[in-house]
Copies of this chain bind each other. A is one copy, B any other.
């Protein structure tokens, strides 16, 4: 930086101001400095910047083992962050006690991140989020209900469930079963509660206990053994639905005639799950992008109240609920 300053015939302070886009610098000086900066290929030292408080890095904390969807979210965040001159640092918390999330946040504090995006996943993690004190703004990418303790940019779970269940009802299904994912999880509860509000028969619920195909497979068999006879399944995740498809075949149920099956998530591969899986697609790119945006907004205005943005899902109808032409 001293070199740049010398070459441009200004002080280091001025170079610093140009770097941060300080409008106080007169344009002619600024232009000259910028010219020297890229002639010399100068790049500021992030660590030194961070030392002064104004770090240009955002934290990402995942409260569950990363899946394809978290990867997509991360990619979107990374892209948006890069565009704004920020970099990303990540932590992953996969325990059941919320302890790792706390540690992950500690690590973000140590690194002096400007703000953090958190995917709390479980109820316990959400609680940690509500209680923890950190010196930077946070935004959750999972909904935390009304009056959230921090900003939220998440999927509109209620709306998404409505989309799926109403579709199932519109095609004439009356015994719509729900197969929930990992129990400890916030979204498992949201989805179940909304489904129950719409369907009203708790007996048609079965927890798969995980978001996997195997879990879905076993859950449908278990339900069948219990004597439950649904004419539709609303699976809590696409992979759960994949397992259901196999179980249905083994139970002699034709899809969609005897059993309509809908997933949740909208993985690209779902087009080829069985006869094509009907599913609620969520825009993870948009979610990641908005999460970064929200971070920067909070940075700009630290004492604005936390906002809550819920993004709509989109229903994709395929052969698993409506026979294709």
Contact = CB atoms under 8 A, between A and B. Distances in A.
A246 B217 contact: no
Interface SS, A side: helix
A66 B55 contact: no
A71 interface: yes
Contacts of A88: 89-91
A216 to B, nearest CB: 8
- Copies of this protein in the complex: 2
A300 B233 CA distance: 55
Contact of A78 (B46, B90, B112): B90
Interface stretch (A5-13, A124-132, A150-158, A268-276): A268-276
A44 interface: yes
Given A74-B66, A75-B65, A269-B239, A45 B89 contact: no
Interface stretch (A20-28, A103-111, A164-172, A308-316): A103-111
A225 interface: no
B268 A214 contact: yes
A243 B268 CA distance: 11
A217 B51 contact: no
Which of A94, A110, A217: most chain B Cβ within 10 A? Answer: A110
A47 B53 CA distance: 9
Nearest to A242: B272
A304 interface: no
Nearest to A72: B66
Interface in A259-278: 268-269, 271-273
Contacts of A271: 213-214
A51 B43 CA distance: 14
Interface string A175-215: 00000000000000000000000000000000000001110
Contacts of A70: 71
Given A89-B87, A90-B74, A242 B213 contact: no
Q: Top 6 nearest A-B pairs by Cβ distance?
A: A47-B50, A66-B71, A71-B71, A68-B68, A213-B272, A89-B89
18 contacts: A43-B110, A46-B110, A47-B50, A50-B50, A66-B71, A66-B72, A68-B71, A70-B71, A74-B92, A78-B91, A79-B92, A82-B103, A87-B89, A87-B110, A89-B89, A212-B268, A239-B269, A242-B273
